[in-house]
Chains A and B, each alone.
Chain A
Amino acid sequence: MHIPATFCSIVPPYLLRRLARLDEPRFSAAARAAKEALSHVRYVQSARTQPAPAAPPALRDVRPGPPNRSVYDAGGSENLPGKLMRKEGEPASGDQSADEAYDGLGHTHRLFADVFGRNSIDGEGLPLDATVHFGKLYDNAFWDGRQMVFGDGDGEVFDRFTRSLSVIGHELTHGVTQYSAGLAYRNQAGAINESMSDVFGALVEQYLNSQSVTDASWLIGEGLFTPQVEGSALRSLKAPGTAYDDDVLGKDPQPDSMDSYVRTSADNGGVHINSGIPNRAFYLTAETLGGNAWEAPGRIWYDTLTGGSLPATATFRVFARATAASAVDLFGTDSPEHDALRQAWETVKVKL
């Protein structure tokens, strides 16, 4: 099928860039993929389990077991889970994406098990499933309610999404949130949901690499952008709004305090945008305390997420107060941890 387009006023920025650099006329990879898709209309399987009621932490987190991982290959289709490529205990498959996913699932499981005593995503040993090579040049990774899914990227803006351990940790943390606080995925509750995934995604990397607060990059998705993009990562917890500044992709839109809070109906009410505010609150707490962020700051955030008192529709203020209550429970009212936390929320202009 050939569809003539007499002219196009707006085109994807990376295609503009690529075309600008190419002398010979030829289709972009993304356009080729879209053309291929015309002859194979595929249906996205969507299946999301309902959030399970949270079990009391004492029952849920007694003895974390080892991970039970399975990595599948969608082979460029959008059918989940796909063909089993590597299951728990098997040697490396030789497929880079599958092996990165397998390792990333293990590292994420290890953070939650070793540091927080959580037995997998649901606290009850949920098997960890992931599908790689989803779709054609698919620019995304997501948690569908019961498994992780990774695209290969388009090769022009994005490389494969398994490259970033923080992205793997981010997606699995959506599962933890689903099975604990069950935060709604819109507006401020959605931004807290996103921030939780960024915080624990960053901690997975830091724990694996034994990085202190000052050693860590605090970036989410480092290495995902191709060299053509002027940017280091998708987001920065340390300095929201600075992760990328590209002439065609634009600038990282994250605010770093309530002064620059973004009101929008896009992106489920800006869940990936305003998450910069609680992200920075976590970073500032960790910076003040020093040492390893997965220790006191991570424990405060984890207890807030899983403690059972955080409402699914929490606002930033409700969330901030919940973190303060967790800090008091864990360390006391006059503790450095509580002081650091209060100062962090004050800096990002969220009133306790």
Chain B
Amino acid sequence: MKISVERSGGIAALTRVWTVHAQTASAKSQWQPIVEACPWDAVPKTVRAAAAEVQDNQPDRFIYSIRAGQRRAALPEQAVTGPWRVLVDTTRAAAGDSPDRRGPVQA
């Protein structure tokens, strides 16, 4: 299962992406409850729809676009709470913490 978190917006408008591939059975079993805890059907699926739904569209806030397998969600920063926050933070932590990533570094 591929899990990705894309963060756009902010005063700098620099888009950041964190991606994790949970491939082993162990990884999948640990990611699954985190992913399934999120109410995917209750939120917009595109950033355009997310922006349209925001009642208080605050300037310079981040917008998150989240994918896990076939699931899609788009949320303004203010709505990234509860299980969404856990999913976003876990993905960021895992993506920034993977020793396997060091191989192809070409900075």
Contacts and interface: CB of A to CB of B under 8 A. Distances in A.
* A42, A44, A269 interface centre (most CB from chain B within 10 Å): A44
Interface residues of B, number: 58
Interface in A236-286: 247-250, 253, 265-269, 272-273
6 contacts: A20-B107, A25-B102, A48-B58, A161-B11, A171-B11, A272-B12
B92 A34 contact: yes
B59 interface: yes
Nearest to A16: B107
Interface in A305-342: none
* A25, A250, A272 interface centre (most CB from chain B within 10 Å): A272
Interface of B: 4, 8-24, 26-27, 30-31, 34, 46-48, 51, 56-63, 77-78, 80-82, 85-86, 89-90, 92-102, 105-107
Contacts of A10: 4, 17-19, 95
A143 B58 contact: yes
Contacts of A209: none
B11 A141 contact: yes
Interface residues of A, number: 70
Interface of A: 1, 3-13, 15-21, 25, 27-28, 30-31, 34-35, 37-38, 41-44, 46-48, 139-145, 157-158, 161, 167, 170-171, 174, 184-186, 193-194, 197, 221, 224, 234, 247-250, 253, 265-269, 272-273
A7 B98 contact: yes
